[in-house]
Structure 1
């Protein structure tokens, strides 16, 4: 389905600080119904097209793909390039941001299956001296399920203003540097494993463990263990390459313009950083199918992949089923929709790009999407919720 060019007029906007991650506000869920009892509604092409067409003016392009036994749908909206108004390529590549975490978690679990990593061992066993000496033992498992208690980077550590992002978009920050900056801040809670709070530092450390154990970059391990075996030709895990290969929609950030208003700066090319994978909707769909069908992990690690810790979620407002409880497992998030359907997946964002992948546990329906917001970190939970509802709960999403 071809993209519809839209005129872009940018006035004054509330430009929020960019973030490395996106947490969606969960759609209101029904209570205590087993996912086995819930039937996914029929594929609703009209609801899906309406969802992607509802993108706000601060988003220049949207692409989405829905797959499963009931059929396949793909659609685009907006423009790939605001200067030429070229249509959005349905097979276009986009930056993954924190969806990279799912790939990192998969590699760590593969190393566990190979008896090279023990999830119960503390980080300090594998990376002596990386964490402050007064830290308690932090089990590797807690890195993957966001219960590690490690602090996060703040706006004092890296530029977050639109101008700062533009000026420093090619800067390189190695993993040890990011971790060293983060651990200067207070930990959000005392006991590892007792509370869940979403963040990035735990995955910086998990990637460092991959590199320590294998002697190679975590990007190379992802490439050799996942991308090549699954034949994902349009997915890359660059280390410092700033380019975007192949067809793609451009990413932009709005910066204040002289005399008021805003102007768009193309930030498609940027240092990939720790969440810098690039992929397509088709490749991410293939990855989901392979991961959930057990091709990448043996049964014990598959169990770990879907184990959500029974602990409180710090913040609570976006917790699963609205019960203030954890909803992340090892690199995945669990979302229960208003019609009782439960989906698993991951969202991600980096400057200029926001994306996500979700599927029912049985792979009966799968959604992959990407859009290009101009508001820094791209955190638009309303649009994400509309996309997920249209794919898995169209009746609920239309109310």
Structure 2
């Protein structure tokens, strides 16, 4: 297997064989959180072509806590993508080293390689942008994070609900219920048939609140979900008179010059270079066929970006360019409450916790990173960084299983970047 440099200050072509890799669980809980402001879907495996990894980059100066950047571990992580992943893209940045690599194909029909500057759908990574806008509105005294959302959106939630503080929407302690597989199409055939359907935020919330809340007292437990961010997006729209996509664009994308990032409302296409997204649809003979679902209604969580733009966004966010100090602190303020995603013996996950729009992950080597994962049909992505930004990783890959089921690969890429 040949690795060809795309751009490098210290790289030459390297050859390596395909390795077997035993997955760890360092980011398994993080991958479980990769839902597109909605529900994860059942996996349907399908074979994919196994082209070579293309990689570039060289290690830079390392910090005291971080291990030296290991390009071989990163190449191995990308090339370990399972057969139901058609393409992978990853970028590592920061003073502790730079590396960019791709694997697989962008188009199974033409065999075109994954573009290093390719754009991809973000899914729940959109939540970090929504949280940032809500925190900006709080800094402008247009919303009080301690006040109940019912004050700002009267009539949205059932009358028998307790007061739900705005802050709890952002840190996943709101107690709002989630959509179930019965609320939206979740089978491969249903996804293909309905991928252009529009589901307004108000419709999604109305469907979710028909279900039982996961716990009684807002702010007293943490459970990852999407409904709180549907409501947060509606809050942005109510307070500003604009769509949340427009507010993200004018408040974040334009000031940071994120020219390859868009927050579409109705456009079903992905502009510019990109890998195609596919879903495996079962055939009557027991096999499956790959259906191209690159074009789809963006819906909630429908932002599109690149690894370079997400790296720029994460850097600006961590450096306080988007928020003043009090609101900046909310990004890293993990509530000290038990989590419903933990084990019976310890209700709090061992290595994943949520703040406002960010998740905190402690890796097996003790390194703590902050970021977000996301998935939608045909696309899974993630962005993580150390708090001091000495090392950052952004990745995207294209699962044919519907999304939310690729724990191993979503674990391997960040682990290879921070804890090889």
Q: TM-score, normalised by structure 1?
A: 0.89
Distance in 2 (alpha carbons) for counterparts of 1:215 and 1:124: 18
State the 1:325 CA deviation. 8.5
Matched, 1:80 2:96: no
Distance in 2 (alpha carbons) for counterparts of 1:96 and 1:229: 20
Matched, 1:134 2:160: yes
Q: 1:376 matched to which residue of 2?
A: 402
Contact 2:261 2:306 in 1 (8 A): yes
Q: Please list every run of at least 4 consecutive aligned residues from structure 1 whose deviation after the TM superposition is greater than 2 angstroms.
A: 1-4, 18-23, 317-326
Distance in 1 (alpha carbons) for counterparts of 2:375 and 2:406: 10
State the 1:70 CA deviation. 2.3
Q: 1:282 matched to which residue of 2?
A: 308
Q: 2:139 matched to which residue of 1?
A: 113
Query: In 2 relative to 1, CA 323–250 (structure 1 residues): closer, same or farther, beyond 3 Å?
Result: closer
Which residue of 193, 197, 204 corresponds with 2:223?
197
Q: What are the residue-to-residue correspondences of 1:9-20 with 2, within 5 Å?
A: 20=36
State the 1:133 CA deviation. 0.4
Contact 2:373 2:383 in 1 (8 A): yes
Which residue of 173, 184, 196 corresponds with 2:210?
184
Contact 2:36 2:300 in 1 (8 A): no
Question: Secondary structure of the equivalent of 1:368?
Answer: strand
What CA RMSD, in Å, does the superposition of the two structures yield over aligned residues? Answer: 2.1
Unaligned runs of 5+ in 1: 5-17, 24-36, 395-399
Q: 2:389 matched to which residue of 1?
A: 363
Matched, 1:245 2:261: no
Q: 1:92 matched to which residue of 2?
A: 118
Question: Secondary structure of the equivalent of 2:300?
Answer: helix
Distance in 2 (alpha carbons) for counterparts of 1:367 and 1:271: 28
Q: Deviations over 1:239-296 (max 9, x none)?
A: 1110111000000000011322000000000001110000000000000000000000
Query: In 2 relative to 1, CA 308–111 (structure 1 residues): closer, same or farther, beyond 3 Å?
Result: same
Contact 2:205 2:227 in 1 (8 A): yes
Q: 2:57 matched to which residue of 1?
A: none
State the 1:377 CA deviation. 1.9
Contact 1:63 1:76 in 2 (8 A): yes
Contact 2:381 2:396 in 1 (8 A): yes
Matched, 1:221 2:247: yes
Matched, 1:296 2:322: yes
Question: Secondary structure of the equivalent of 1:327?
Answer: strand
Aligned residue-pair number: 368
Q: Deviations over 1:310-341 (max 9, x none)?
A: 00010205999975697100000000011110
Distance in 2 (alpha carbons) for counterparts of 1:349 and 1:325: 20
Contact 2:351 2:363 in 1 (8 A): no
Q: Deviations over 1:100-148 (max 9, x none)?
A: 0000000000000000010001010000000000000000000000000
Q: 2:52 matched to which residue of 1?
A: none
Distance in 2 (alpha carbons) for counterparts of 1:321 and 1:231: 42
Query: In 2 relative to 1, CA 392–139 (structure 1 residues): closer, same or farther, beyond 3 Å?
Result: same
Q: State which drifts further: 122-131 or 375-384.
A: 375-384
